[in-house]
Structure formats: C-alpha cells, structure tokens
Amino acid sequence: MPQIISALIGAFVTLLLWGLSNKETREWIAKRLVRILGSLLIMIIFSLIAYLCIQQFKIQKLENKIQTQKDGNKNGAIDILVDNLVEERNKYNFAKDEIEELSKEKDSLSVKINSRENELFQLKSQLDELQKQSLQNQAKIISLKRKISEKENEIKILKNKEKQLTTDLQNAQTRLKNLEDNIETLQEELLKERDKYIQSLERVASLFESGTKDTTASESLRKVITWSADKKYLAIMYSVGNTGDVSIIDISSQKEVKKIPIERGYYQIKFSKDGRKIIADDDTLEIVKKLSPKPKPKKQFEIKKNETKSNTNSIDKKKQNWQTIYLRSTAESLTEEDVKTMIKKHDFYDRYTNKTGRGFKNDYDVKTINGDAVVVDRATGLMWQQGGPSNYGRYKDTKKDIDELNMNRFAGYDDWRLPTLEEAMSLMEPERYNSGLHIDPVFDSMQRWIWTADAIISERRQWVVYFYYGYCDYDDLNYSSLYVRAVRSGQSSNE
C-alpha cells in the first residue's frame, strides 16, 4: 500500500509539473484544482480502506496459525516453565544463603566499624591533647631558643674577651720574660757592682785604718764588717781604743744611712734577726726603723698529689700570729652594686670588677678527717671540702648534695652548707696556677665553677664563682650547671 500511495503521489507531482509548464494547462489546472484534489483525496481514502482490509485478513490468518502452534506445543512449554521455575528457586535459595552470609559479614563489619570509631575517637582525643601540648612546647621552644640565643651571644662575647685576654696574656708573658731577663741581667750587674763596692769599702777601711793610726795610742784601729740577713745593708765598725762608731750602709744606694757612736771597741757585731738592731758583743745598739727589712711577699707553695702537708722547707704558718677575719655566712639577695662594693672592700681579685685586687690572704692547712679531705683556712675560720661532687648540676640539685654530706657526717660534721659569695670569693687568687684555675692548688681542680648561696635581687638567678675565668657573675637557676664545694664555719685559728 505505501508503494501505491507513493506511485500516485509521484504521478500527481509529474502531472502537476507538466501542467504548470503550459499556460493553458495552468489555467485549466487552476480552474479544476479543487475538483482534482477532491478526487485525489477520495482515491487515497479508498486505497487506505483496501489496505486495512488486506492487513486484517493477514492478521486473522496469523492468529489462527499461532493458536494451532500453541495447542500443539502446550505440554513442552509447561515442562520448560517448570524447569525454569526449579532453576529460579535454586537461584533464590543460593541468593538467600548468600544474603545470610552477607548479613553476618555486615554484622561483623558493624562491630569492627564501632571498634574503629571508638579508636578513632581516642586518637582524635590524643591528637587534640598533643596539639595542646604542641602549642605549649612551641612556647617553651621559643623561650628556649631565645635563651639559647642569649647564651650563644654571651659565649661569643666571652670567647672574644678570652681571645683578647689570651693575646694580652701572651703579650704580658712576653713582657714578663723580657723583664725577667732584664732583672737577671741587672742582678748580675748589681752583684758585680756590689763586689766592686765591697772592695772599695775594704780599700776605704784600709786607708782609714792607715790614716788614723796614732803611734802614741796604746791601741790601733779595729774594723769589723757584717751583712744584714737580706743582704741589703752593710755594717762597718771602726774603733780606736774606746772611741769609734758603726756605719750602716745601704747597698742599693751605696750611701751611709745611719752612724751609731760607740764608747768602746767591740770584737764582734751582727744584725738582729728582725734587722732593727745591731748586736755588738753583748750590747744592743738601736738603729733607724727604716732599716727594717721588708717582709718577703707571700709565697704560694704547691702540695703534691700524695702529700697531705706542705714541704718542711715552707713557712710554718702555725707559729705565726694570724688574725681571723669573719666573712658573711648568711645567704642574701645581692645587687651588682652590692657585689662590687664587697669585692673592693676585701680587695678580692676579679678580672672585671677589681683586676688589680691582691686577693685574700689565706692560711691553708690540708687535713684528712675520717678519710675525708678538707682544707682549713685559719685566716677566715672556714673549713672547705678539698674537692666536691664530680658531677655538676643545676641549683636545685645542690640541696641533695649538701644533705648527703650532712647525713654521712662528712669529716665528722653535719653543718655543711653552700658558701656565700663573700666566702667563695675569698678563695679567688690573682694568679692562674698550672691547674688553669685562679685558686690555690691545695684544692681539687675539678670544681672550675661553683654555686653560692646568694641570689640576685628580682631575678631567678644565682651568684656563682668562675675559678677558671677569674671572676664572679650570676647565672640562671634552671638552665645552668655548675659544681658544689661545701663549707662550714666554726674553725678557730688554733684548730
């Protein structure tokens, strides 16, 4: 049917195109157009009706054929459906079992999920806590970095000072060596000049003797020469009969500084031990005070490792009269001005505050009491540990060290304590010994810097003493580590 309709439409179009090409035809077509279109429409309608009838017949025929096939194959289809049903039931049962297994796995996973959620909650809590701690630690780190930077700057400054001081020390050592050489040369020249002077004195005495001899006198001139103990003065006695004098001559200036008249001749003269008098036979002749020999400077002496007492050739200080000087023993809070005043008051040596300080005049005596080594300073009445703990620590650890000494009754005493800054600075020496420290070698060299009991006002810092560098300063209570050298009071000058 569609082919027929298409053919009719094609014929109509062809006829229309032919008609339009002819003027007369166009006019005829224009007049007959309505009639032609109506006829054409009627033809199309009848054609469609015929087509529908034919199709209805075909459909009826096919339905009959299908019904016949259904009747013939009805039993086979049922078998197929039964098989399909069985197969679907098997699949259903399998799926049901699978669903049960999956349900069990789901329940197990739910338990695990709950457990993991609890763990996650705990981890989040820990993370929050760690984040809080991290913020606190960051603040501490910033503070520590600032303090480290300050310490590094201080160390840098100290190293620069040390470098400069090393250079100054080398220059000073060079100058000292030159001065020692000059002194040695001058001493040799002085000895030569003294010998020459003595020879000249001998010649003068001889001339005086020959020039003053009186042939009418019953006795000739008598001459006696003697030296002072320090070899700084010469005494020459000239006498004729019962008259004469003793001349005191200063060797360094080669001048007569005193003449003592005598009323008789003596056979022997000598200086007294203190250098203030002339002993002539059994008589004592007074001379001027300025002839008193200057006291020898205090000579430091080193005690060897295995010795507990000084060399027998050293001065026996126990036989001397020493005045005990009592230093402050109670802890205080001190300002920098307080410390400067204290150092200058006692003339303690400090390389920055009092570089020209002569240091405290100690009188040390090393003792071993109950197997414990101590150093007694008779000048201050203090008893010190010769050494101390080998490990350095923070200030808060010093109490433990002191308590341990007192509990064990170190050297038989239980009143040990940290020294005050005043007491600790009494140990500071201007000289740096072979141990590398500004402290007498009777003490152990391990304790290069020590804590004191004195704090600095308005700060969490404590005054400390650096024997290695030769000065005192304040240091941080919480971050600095120093040694302990304990002390106790109550030592009399005769103990």
Rounded to the nearest 5 percent, the helix, strand and coil shares of the chain are: 50, 20, 30
Which of 457 and 347 is assigned the larger pLDDT?
347
In a domain, 91, yes or no: no
Cβ 361 vs Cβ 379: under 8 Å? yes
Q: Which residues pair with 428 in a beta bridge?
A: 439
pLDDT over 90 (residue 17): no
In a domain, 104, yes or no: no
Instruction: List strands edge to edge, sheet with 487-488.
Output: 364-369, 372-377, 382-385, 487-488
pLDDT of residue 300: 39
pLDDT over 70 (residue 257): yes
Tokens of 103: 């349900």
- Overall size of the chain counted in residues: 495
| 453 and 375 fall within a common domain | yes
Split at pLDDT 50, 70, 90, the class of 55 is confident
Which of 317 and 385 is assigned the larger pLDDT?
385
- As a whole number, mean pLDDT of residues 263-288 equals 78
| 233 and 349 fall within a common domain | no
In a domain, 147, yes or no: no
**Max alpha carbon distance in the chain (Å)?**
212
Separation of alpha carbons 189 and 86, rounded Å: 140
pLDDT of residue 385: 96
- As a whole number, mean pLDDT of residues 109-123 equals 85
Count of structural domains, the chain = 3
Say how many CA atoms lie within 13 Å of 461 toward its Cβ: 14
Separation of alpha carbons 427 and 376, rounded Å: 12
- As a whole number, mean pLDDT of residues 376-401 equals 91
| 256 and 377 fall within a common domain | no
| 374 and 256 fall within a common domain | no
pLDDT of residue 18: 67
pLDDT over 70 (residue 247): yes
Burial class of residue 420 in the structure, from the number of CB atoms within 10 Å of its CB (0-12 exposed, 13-18 middle, 19+ buried): buried
Cβ 454 vs Cβ 333: under 8 Å? yes
Q: Is the dihedral of CA 112, 114, 118, 124 positive or negative?
A: positive
pLDDT of residue 324: 67
Q: Among 83-87, 147-151, 292-296, 328-332, which stretch is predicted with the lowest mean pLDDT?
A: 292-296
pLDDT over 90 (residue 368): yes
Q: What is the pLDDT of residues 33-54, one digit of tens each?
A: 666 667 777 888 887 888 788 8
pLDDT of residue 284: 82
Split at pLDDT 50, 70, 90, the class of 75 is low
Which of 471 and 308 is assigned the larger pLDDT?
471
In a domain, 406, yes or no: yes
Cβ 235 vs Cβ 246: under 8 Å? yes
| 423 and 484 fall within a common domain | yes
Separation of alpha carbons 359 and 350, rounded Å: 9
Q: What is the pLDDT of residues 190-234, one digit of tens each?
A: 666 666 555 555 555 554 444 343 333 334 567 788 888 777 788
Boundaries of domain holding 265:
213-291
Which of 150 and 74 is assigned the larger pLDDT?
150
pLDDT of residue 219: 44
pLDDT of residue 465: 96
Q: What is the pLDDT of residues 439-494, one digit of tens each?
A: 999 999 999 999 999 998 767 899 999 999 999 999 888 777 899 999 998 654 44
* 368-397 burial: b if 16+ Cβ within 10 Å, else e: eeeebbbbbbbbbbbbbbbbbbeebbebeb
Cβ 189 vs Cβ 181: under 8 Å? no
- As a whole number, mean pLDDT of residues 314-332 equals 64
Share of the chain above pLDDT 70, in %: 75
Split at pLDDT 50, 70, 90, the class of 346 is very high
Averaged pLDDT score across all residues of the chain: 78
In a domain, 95, yes or no: no
Which of 116 and 8 is assigned the larger pLDDT?
116
- As a whole number, mean pLDDT of residues 342-362 equals 93
| 10 and 48 fall within a common domain | yes
- As a whole number, mean pLDDT of residues 301-326 equals 46
In a domain, 369, yes or no: yes
pLDDT of residue 64: 79
> Domain boundary residue among 241, 276, 291?
291
pLDDT over 90 (residue 268): no
**Angle at Cα 375 formed by Cα 452 and Cα 314, nearest 5°?**
135
pLDDT over 70 (residue 371): yes
| 396 and 455 fall within a common domain | yes
> Domain boundary residue among 25, 50, 72?
72
Q: 3-state class of 461 per DSSP?
A: strand
φ/ψ region of 297 (left if φ > 0, alpha if ψ in -120 to 50, else beta) reads beta
Tokens of 425: 């600075």
Q: Which residue has the tokens 């941080």?
A: 476
Separation of alpha carbons 346 and 351, rounded Å: 15
| pTM (predicted TM-score) | 0.39
pLDDT over 70 (residue 254): no
pLDDT of residue 76: 64
| 371 and 456 fall within a common domain | yes
pLDDT of residue 292: 42
Q: What is the DSSP string of 382-428?
A: EEEESS--SS-B-GGGHHHHHHHHHHTTGGG-S--BPPPHHHHHTTB
In a domain, 121, yes or no: no
Separation of alpha carbons 262 and 211, rounded Å: 20
Tokens of 317: 């200080």
Split at pLDDT 50, 70, 90, the class of 87 is confident
- Cβ contacts of residue 190 below 8 Å, gap of 6+? none
- Give the C-alpha distances (Å, rounded to integers) separating 238 from 121, 299, 441: 116, 39, 51
pLDDT of residue 332: 92
| 407 and 366 fall within a common domain | yes
> Domain boundary residue among 52, 72, 92?
72
In a domain, 48, yes or no: yes
| 287 and 321 fall within a common domain | no
> CA nearest 277: which of 266, 268, 289?
289
pLDDT over 80 (residue 386): yes
Q: What is the DSSP string of 164-185?
A: HHHHHHHHHHHHHHHHHHHHHH
Say how many CA atoms lie within 13 Å of 134 toward its Cβ: 6
Tokens of 449: 């810097």
| 349 and 484 fall within a common domain | yes
| 331 and 427 fall within a common domain | yes
